[in-house]
Amino acid sequence: MNFVGSHILSVSQFDRQAIEKVFEVADKMGPFANRQRVTRVLEGAILGNMFFEPSTRTRVSFGCAWNLLGGEVRETTEIKTSALAKGESFYDTARVLSGYSDMIVMRHQLEGSVDEFAAASRVPVINGGDGSNEHPSQALLDLYTIRKEMADRGKGIDELRIALVGDLRYGRAVHSLCKLLSLYNKLHFTLVSPPELALSDEYIEGIREAGHEVNLSDQLQSGIQHADIVYVTRTQEERFPTPEDADKYKGLFRLNQSIYTEYCEPTTVIMHPMPRDSREDANELDNDMNENPNLAIFRQTDNGVLVRMALFALILD
Ligand code: NCD
């Protein structure tokens, strides 16, 4: 994979070598992210951060990653504050905004929207999430976290046992993560979801064709047994036809400390792309796990800055 000047639209662009390259550079970003060292390498450069769907972590960590490399960030949030609300096309918006920026990160509710935008952009574009399709930078930071957590436990990514829990149908973070994990060897996937929110056949076939074992389950307790990683997700309510359609699935799987103690291994790592839905009717990952040292969710969010700095560094050479 050639990073320089490239758009990052899908994890399908990555092979093992490219992933290793990102992680190698991410490892070097720690001192800058921790304020032990300072660089102004992106001085004068502008990131166009365009988030047309809600975002906390992805938007702010991309922005911070750029700032930590010395650059400035311009944000556009919400469609109603941009000319897209006046009927402007992605083509025109991309031509214009890429004249003002050195790189663009974009999130939008439509699948394929970021590809269409990138095709008209004069600068590299990173997909910050396009509908329920993909979220490449999230999957890279998740994999980076998995690699670190497993190394701390004397293991690697090969032969990993991972349980993916929740809305696997609409969860773009899961879609991208499954594709990346499929590049490794002999993994064991347990896909825990209500049947209506199962991972689509296309993804399951892709995982199986790559030589991994896949089991489907609609039971949290049995699904998470023996897992090295339990990756919990939120019901993606914004993707359902109506809020009531999503309500049916909220709260079906609720991981808390007592379930963890009874069914997980003492070293099982708990991950979540976040946000976790902490409202009472959902609460898929309870706050009573916050002190559990195997809860890696805030290590994931910290790692997001390093991985995003690495992507900027590689794309801008
Ligand atoms: C995820 C997303 O937006 O796809 N969030 C994130 O970027 N960390 C997951 C989610 O919203 O549930």
Residue 224: pLDDT above 90? yes
Nearest to 73 by CA among 64, 82, 86, 85: 64
Work out the pLDDT band at 105, boundaries 50, 70, 90. very high
Task: Give the pocket of ligand 1 (CB within 6 Å).
Answer: 57-58, 129, 135, 138, 172-173, 234, 236, 273-274
Q: Whose CA is nearest to atom 7 of ligand 1?
A: 58
14 vs 20: CA distance, rounded Å: 10
Atom of ligand 1 at shortest range from CA of 171:
4
Pocket test for ligand 1, best of 49, 169, 236, 302 (most atoms within 8 A of CB): 236
Atom of ligand 1 at shortest range from CA of 233:
12
Residue 269 Cα to ligand 1 midpoint, Å, equals 19
* Average predicted confidence (pLDDT) for the chain: 97
pLDDT digits (tens, 9 = 90+) for 254-276: 999 999 999 999 999 999 999 99
CB 182 within 8 Å of CB 143? no
Q: What is the percentage of the chain residues whose pLDDT exceeds 90?
A: 98
Q: What is the pLDDT of residue 78?
A: 87
pLDDT digits (tens, 9 = 90+) for 183-198: 999 999 999 999 999 9
CB 105 within 8 Å of CB 126? yes
Q: What is the pLDDT of residue 90?
A: 95
Residue 159 Cα to ligand 1 midpoint, Å, equals 26
Atom of ligand 1 at shortest range from CA of 58:
7
Amino acid at 10: S
pTM, two decimal places:
0.97
CB 220 within 8 Å of CB 213? no
Q: What is the pLDDT of residue 289?
A: 98
Residue 53 Cα to ligand 1 midpoint, Å, equals 10
Give the residue-averaged pLDDT of 121-141. Answer: 98
pLDDT digits (tens, 9 = 90+) for 238-256: 999 999 999 999 999 999 9
Give the residue-averaged pLDDT of 156-162. Answer: 98
Give the residue-averaged pLDDT of 108-132. Answer: 98
274 vs 294: CA distance, rounded Å: 16
Q: What is the pLDDT of residue 81?
A: 86
Give the residue-averaged pLDDT of 168-194. Answer: 98
pLDDT digits (tens, 9 = 90+) for 39-83: 999 999 999 999 999 999 999 999 999 999 999 999 999 888 899
Positive or negative, the CA dihedral 73, 74, 76, 77 is: positive
